[in-house]
Structure 1
Amino acid sequence: MLSPTSKIYLKIVLAAVFIESLAHASVYFLLIFKLSSTANSWSLTAIALTSALTGVILAAPLGNLVDRMSLRPLWLGSIIVSILSVFLLSISESLILWILLVVIYSAAGVISGSVVFKALPRIEGITPEKASSFLVSTGALVGILSPLLASLLYALAPNHSFIPLIILLAACFLIIFKAAPQGAPPELDSISWKDALLGIKVISNNHHIIYYLPIMLLVVLSTSVEDLSGVVYLQDIGGNFISPLFPSFPGDPGAIAYSALVASWSVGTLMGAHLTEQKLFKLSPAASLKIGGFIISLAIFAEGFFPSPVLITLFFFLGGAGNAVHNVGIRNLVYTEVAEQNQGQAWAMIGATFTVFSSIGQFLGTPYLLGEPQQVIMYSGLFPMVIIALFTLGMVYLRRNKINR
């Protein structure tokens, strides 16, 4: 049982995790806003690729660093690096320097994310299941709030928009410095730098993760294909829905409709993350991956099959809940199957793998590359839905044969 003081410190630390995540994501959106209004379009691609590839290339050594060092000073150090990077971004106008700073900033983000993933279950009062649910909820809220915060800051003070985010990161540093527990020293004996440089040994040696990794990657690929095709498709049907109802609607009705539809997915994710904490909805990591992945795929298939904003909103609530179940299952699988001393590297490597498949999915989902956006979305949901169903039926068949023998 936690004391009242311990509960307060716990809430403060969790608040710092949320604020840091919000500030980190908002910095990225601010960069996009600034570049989209002041530079050529290829610079947007350069920043996006730099951010993504940094995590992919440095995931193994940075994750291993998390496993080899005390978490609290590493966490504080990553925030200091983030603050300095954002400060230099705010006073620089050079794209080359921005790219270099994005590499540093993204690396600090990988470290911070791995530290948080590994540290939360160590804190008194937080189980791995609660940590998973909190991280998924945080991701959903950040997905809703970060573009809004960044756009607001850029609209109000375009030349000083980074300053409030620097203040938020500084506040996180002070909170973690004061409230975060010291934690136990790392266990180094079973970890080698050679394994870190190879980058995949921690994952490849775990049969449970390898067994379910294809489902995870299939879901990432499916949602990423929908991501870009959905921009065109949802704006089109959403705009056609709003325009007759509000003929004098100010601004672009398609963009407003798209934002509302995407927000419904995030709201569903928040609801799903809350449900995963309830005893009635407790699932094993394997069941969470299969059920959550199937629901996500069903929602994406329905998005393409029913070109109705009302029906899509309902299915997006459902898909968002499935997204929460699936993501909680991923985290719980790592918590239960990977030794604590290797969790930092394992999580960093899984994140890097997801980034690679997300990039492939976004390329395949480029509007009109593979066909009409509506059809691409429908098939991007149908394919994983069928594969997950066949995978589950195959497992049931094999299990029954094993019992009968």
Structure 2
Amino acid sequence: MLFSLVGDAAAALGLALDAAHSGTSWNVTEVYVAGLVPPILFAPLIGVLADRWRARRLWIVSLLAQAVALGAATVLPALHFRIAMLAVAGVFGVAASAVGFKLLPDLAGTEHLSRANSAVSVANSASGLLGPALGATAHAIWGSTALLGFDTSSFLVIAGAAVIAVPASSAQATVKSHPFRGASAGFRALRESSVIGPMLPLLIGLMLATSIEGVAGVFYIRDVVGNDTWYGYVLACWALGSIPGAVLAGKGSLKGRQGQLVVIGAGMISAGLLVAGLVPNGFVIAAAFIFAGLGNGAHNVAVRNSVHSTVPETFHGQAWAAYSAMSRASVLIGYVLGTPNAALTSRTLVIASGALPLALTLGVSFLLWRRSAGQALQVAVGEPEAGQEKRGSLSA
């Protein structure tokens, strides 16, 4: 998996660098939009397929389809064609992610699910650390064709591993109905989750805020540290912190506290971004990013564990595809809002990217505390627990 994630990050960077060298700034925008918009549009339908078709078969088909799309991009060097193939691969990438999420309890076993989600998050963090560095180096030596070829081979390797490792009986289709009905079921399942539902505004706000910083920070942090090399080192601090955060969140002792980890992680991310904006010092920003990354790693694992534990198994694929669509939509909007302008400087936007989710974290924490206190009071005065609303509980 890490092999493929690093390949994806490196190939996307290679195309972005090709677009930047093409002389048209909109080509860079095209690369990022192609990686976001098609998956957003198709994610709900893909989630339905993940729950209503044989998961193993759909996973293998999705992996092979990504290999075909990227292989075509490797062979034909036209920039716009390559960007189009990146979009196709992104759509099938959502399918592979949704099915992989659905298959994980079968493959890892429910007793090891938290650790498995931790390992997935560690791989994602490591790819964010290794992919850009390796991609930039390889692009300078061999160009984007080699990067696309590497990414193609990674999906072929994973597809082969899936054929061998995933039993044919694993995660059979769980719903027998027309595959394109109920595309909104994934969003509904997230809203009805006892943990994720009450925190959806916080999760969306957090994804939006980090995307705003992702654009504004390019200008602000580079201005603070003085050059591109140090900017890259500061960015790497986030991924560096997220790896131990993901490992710690996978500990068995935290199994019943996933909801709390979602909120704590969100608070750490928000605080880190706020400090980074308030203190224009490279070393302070690096330390703040390590702290925020630590919270980000724990937050991501806790979200995955919470969806697995509070959403019915029959909706796992749809719920995760819906979450992926919300994530990409938030990123797309954040990229637009995070562009500095005459009214809002890059530093102001970075400060806002920390202040917004911090306010949401405090607000959601207060509301959930009030609900939990109300439930505790009902139990104390002798009202029956059966049938009580559990949406306010922070335990997953």
Give TM class, smaller chain.
0.7 to 0.9
Give 1:135's match in structure 2, choosing from 120, 124, 128: 120
Q: Which residue of structure 2 aligns with residue 53 of structure 1?
A: 37
Note if 1:174 corresponds to 2:147. no
Describe how 1:190-209 pairs up with structure 2 within 5 A: 193-196=180-183, 200-206=187-193, 208-209=195-196
Q: After alignment, is 33-42 or 47-56 more displaced?
A: 33-42
The whole-number CA distance in structure 1 between the counterparts of 2:27 and 2:229 is 26
Residues 147-156 or 215-224, more deviating: 147-156
Partner of 1:380 in structure 2?
353
Is the contact between residue 39 and residue 325 of structure 2 (CA under 8 Å) also seen in structure 1? yes
Matches within 5 A, 1:203-242: 203-206=190-193, 208-239=195-226
Distance of 1:112 and 1:124 partners within structure 2: 17
Equivalent positions of 1:112-191 (< 5 A) are 112-125=96-109, 127-158=112-143, 160-161=145-146, 162-182=148-168, 183-189=170-176
Change beyond 3 A, Cα 1:319–1:96 = closer
Shift in Å, 1:122: 1.1
Aligned to 1:7: none
Distance 1:93 1:404, change over 3 A: closer
In the TM superposition, what is the alpha-carbon distance from 1:401 to its structure 2 partner?
A: 4.4
Q: After TM superposition, give the deviation of residue 196 of structure 1 in Å.
A: 1.6
Residue identity opposite 1:364 in structure 2: L
In the alignment, residue 152 of structure 1 is paired with which amino acid? Answer: T
In the TM superposition, residue 329 of structure 1 has moved relative to its aligned partner by 1.6
Q: CA deviation at 1:265?
A: 0.8
- Residue of structure 2 in register with 1:363 after alignment: 336
Task: Kindly indicate whether the alpha-carbon contact (under 8 Å) linking 2:59 and 2:96 is maintained by their aligned counterparts in 1.
Answer: yes
* CA drift at 1:394: 3.3
Secondary structure of 1:128's counterpart equals helix
Of 283, 286, 292, 2:259 maps to 286
Contact persistence 1:62–1:111 (CA under 8 A): yes
Partner of 1:246: none
Other-structure match for 1:300: 273
Residues 175 and 344 of structure 1: is their aligned pair in 2 closer, same or farther, counting only changes over 3 Å?
same
Q: C-alpha displacement at 1:96, in angstroms?
A: 4.7
Residues matched between the structures, number:
375
RMSD: 2.3
Structure 2: where are the runs of 5+ without partners? 379-396
Describe the superposition over 1:324-365 as per-residue Cα deviations: whole angstroms up to 9, x where unpaired.
111112111110111112111110111111111122222111
Structure 2 CA distance for partners of 1:159 and 1:376, relative to 1, 3 Å? closer
Using the alignment, how far apart are the partners of 1:47 and 1:282 within structure 2? 39
The corresponding residue for 2:284 is 311
Which range is displaced more, 224-233 or 389-398?
389-398
Query: Is 1:191–1:342's contact at 8 Å kept on the other side of the alignment?
Result: no
Residue 338 (str. 1) matches residue 316 (str. 2): no
Deviation at 1:72, TM superposition (A): 2.2
Residue 99 of structure 1 deviates from its aligned partner by 4.3
Alpha-carbon shift at residue 307 of structure 1 (Å)? 1.5
Counterpart Cα distance in 2 of 1:159 and 1:205: 44
Partner of 2:48: 64
Which residue identity lines up with residue 219 of structure 1 in the other structure?
Answer: L
In the TM superposition, residue 171 of structure 1 has moved relative to its aligned partner by 2.2
3-state SS of 1:195 partner = coil
Cα 1:125–1:197 shift into 2, 3 Å: closer
Distance 1:82 1:306 in 2: 43
Which position in structure 2 is the counterpart of 1:89? 73
Which of 367, 372, 390 is the aligned partner of 2:363? 390
Deviations 1:343-390 (A, max 9, x none): 111101111111111222221111236522222212321232133123
Instruction: Give the Cα–Cα distance (whole angstroms) in 2 for the partners of residues 192 and 84 of structure 1.
Output: 24
- 8 Å Cα contact 1:288-1:326 kept in structure 2: yes
Mapped to 2, the partners of 1:394 and 1:204 lie a distance apart of 16
Query: SS state of the match for residue 36, structure 2?
Result: helix
Q: Quick check: 1:370–1:376 contact (8 Å CA) kept in 2?
A: no
CA drift at 1:402: 4.7
The 10-residue stretch of structure 1 (92-101 or 332-341) with the greater mean CA deviation from structure 2: 92-101
TM superposition score normalised by structure 1: 0.86
* Contact 1:292/1:326, CA 8 A, preserved across alignment: yes
Asked if the contact 2:258–2:302 (Cα under 8 Å) also holds between the matched residues in 1, the reply is yes
Per the TM alignment, residue 404 of structure 1 is displaced from its structure 2 partner at its CA by: 4.1
Partner SS for 2:219: helix
Q: How far apart are 1:281 and its partner, in Å? A: 5.0
Residue 142 of structure 1 deviates from its aligned partner by: 0.8
Q: Which deviates the most, 127-136 or 327-336?
A: 127-136
